[in-house]
Amino acid sequence: MSHVTSIRRILAAALAAAFLLAALSSSAGAATPRAGYYEGTTAQQPGSVDFKVFKYGSFSGTVRKVLKVGATTQLTCASGEVKEDRYLVYIIMGGKIDRYGRFKYAGNGFTIRGRFTTRTSAHGTLSRTVGDCKAENVSWTAKRS
């Protein structure tokens, strides 16, 4: 074996190790959630958030989706009045949870974005608008119940 061949093999192994390390670090912090119900609180008091994660098998592998989302928020109106609002939706086709543990849903004046930090906990933000009353970018945390 020549000296040049061994240097090429060492460089190829180092390059492969660098790619592996980069792939592992890019998925760091990503969590695959467990199926079940999640409940938590928002930055508003009182305020809460809850959702359901469903898992099923498909031809492309195991899929996890958010099937139900609920939230209680304090909406501030243009007049200065504060109203409590309860929002609940069942997502028929399910909100897909991507490989980084992120999900989002938007509809009927409600938007939620989240990310699973562990298999049983998540955090994110939500916004709700009803007429001239709104709550924007309210942070939340939730754990599997």
The β-bridge partners of 99 are none
Residues sharing a CB contact under 8 Å with residue 63, sequence separation 6 or more, in sequence order: 55, 56, 57, 96
**Alpha carbon distance 44, 124 (integer Å):** 13
pLDDT tens digits for 6-45? 777 765 665 555 555 544 444 445 688 999 999 999 999 8
pLDDT tens digits for 70-106? 999 999 999 999 999 999 999 988 788 999 999 999 9
The whole-number pLDDT of residue 14 equals 56
Mean pLDDT of 37-56: 94
Max Cα-Cα span within the chain: 83
**Which CATH number among 3.30.200, 3.30.1330, 1.10.3470, 2.40.128 corresponds to the domain 36-144?**
2.40.128
